[in-house]
Amino acid sequence: MSVNFKRGSVTALAAVAALSLTLSACGSEEASSAGGSSSAGGAGVQCDGKLQLKGSGSTAQANAMTVFKNAFGQDCSSSNVDYSGNGSGQGITEFTSGLTNFAGSDSPLNADQAKKAEDKCGSPALNLPLVFGPIAVAYKLDGVTLNLSAPTLAKIFTGKITKWNAPEIAAENKGAALPDKDITVVFRSDESGTTENFQKYLAAAAPEDWAADKSGKAFKGGVGQGASGNSQVAATVNKADGTVTYTEWSFAKAQKLQIANIITSAGPEAVTLSAESVGKTIAAAKFKTPGSKDLVLDTAGFYKPTTAGAYPIVLATYEIVCSKNSDPELAKGLKTFLKVAASKSTQDQLADKGYAPIPDSFRTTLNESIDSIQ
């Protein structure tokens, strides 16, 4: 499968979800030197600069991060990435406070965060979308395959629908043997870009049932039990029949959870979460500032697709990096790591983790931004 990405619009010619991860850093005194080896790694990059890097943030990136860290270690001796998956909000806070070299985030920086990042960096920060992670509506309901629309999901996650055999669910699952069982909502208790994107989807696709002010990184549904991080919400659902949550696809797969098919505005058939259905969604995406090295995506079109078979809940995950670093050796090390992470040999390892490798054409755009880091 091939995907063709163009500057200004992300065009998928074959259905595949583009995911990748970049880890970069603003000039931090905490970055330690790894000797600045100049030998080429297995990904064909020069292992230059400080190769001991520290970051934190998005848990949606955690499984991809392990792949990147291992590839970095194999390609560049004496290298390491210390990454803590503690949530996007905490990751950005630690980055703007100078505690880490980079932040992983499920959303680009907002205006206030961008100002703090620029103050910390001494230059504007870059938002680099290196992992496209579909958000799964994951549940445990033995023997039942579910189709769910945005309005029905909004009612479930606000407590308006409390039983799995409710009329709204029955209407979308004709012929299914739905149990007379209570629905237990599990939500992210920590601030999360996964929550923010899920709530943006509900507000866009079901505005009558999910008010626009129910947005942000904190869950606003008002019902259910909380768990911190993608891994914990998925594990919590796996423990009890009748539970439901929203979580990044790789974590739902890791727990072998059931995943709902989503009824979209492009209907009428419910859309199964797959690399193909996510690829159709990404085809509609555009960069907010075409030609910029800051690769913020305009994802509004994700939530109400016009293409049949496009999966609507897609999370573009970013690495937050400084465009200029006070330490040139740190800048070299960051670029080395990012090139390893974006390389085909590394990306090809992501498929089993719930991600899809980035295509060569998008890698070109991404590498242009990585090369611009100073």
Predicted local confidence at residue 13, as pLDDT = 31
22: pLDDT strictly greater than 80: no
pLDDT at 6 over 50: no
Nearest 5 degrees, angle CA 25-CA 27-CA 30? 85
> Would you state the structure tokens that stand for residue 222, as one six-digit string?
């008002």
Low-confidence winner among 140-144, 215-219, 258-262, 347-351 (lowest mean pLDDT): 347-351
Span 290-309, average pLDDT: 88
Task: Report the alpha-carbon distance of residue 92 to residue 141 in Å, rounded.
Answer: 36
Task: Quick: pLDDT tens for 313-325.
Answer: 988 888 899 999 9
Using CA atoms in the order 297, 28, 88, 12, what is the torsion angle rounded to 10 degrees?
Answer: 30
- How far is residue 47's CA from residue 120's CA, in Å, rounded to a whole number? 26
Stated pTM of the model: 0.71
How much of the chain, in percent, has pLDDT values that exceed 70?
A: 87
pLDDT bucket at 349, cuts 50 / 70 / 90: confident
C-alpha 178/C-alpha 173 separation (Å) is 9
Averaged pLDDT of the chain? 85
Band of pLDDT at residue 91, cut at 50, 70 and 90? very high
Element (H, E) at 62: helix 62-75
Assess whether pLDDT exceeds 90 at residue 273: yes
Which residues partner with 102 through β-bridges?
Answer: 55
Question: pLDDT tier at 7 (50, 70, 90 boundaries)?
Answer: very low
Q: What is the pLDDT of residue 24?
A: 37
**pLDDT exceeds cutoff 70 at 298:** yes
Q: How many CB atoms lie within 10 A of CB 198?
A: 26
CA distance 178 to 144: 7
Q: How far apart are CA 114 and CA 124, in angstroms?
A: 7
Where is pLDDT greater, at 274 or 363? 274
Least confident of 36-40, 60-64, 200-204, 229-233: 36-40
- Distance between CA atoms of 362 and 358, rounded to whole angstroms? 6
Q: Rounded distance, CA 275 to CA 18, Å?
A: 9
Class of domain 135-278: alpha beta
Residue 292: which residues within 8 A CB-CB, separation 6 or more?
none
Give the domain ranges of the chain.
135-278
Residue 284's pLDDT band, with cuts at 50, 70 and 90, is low
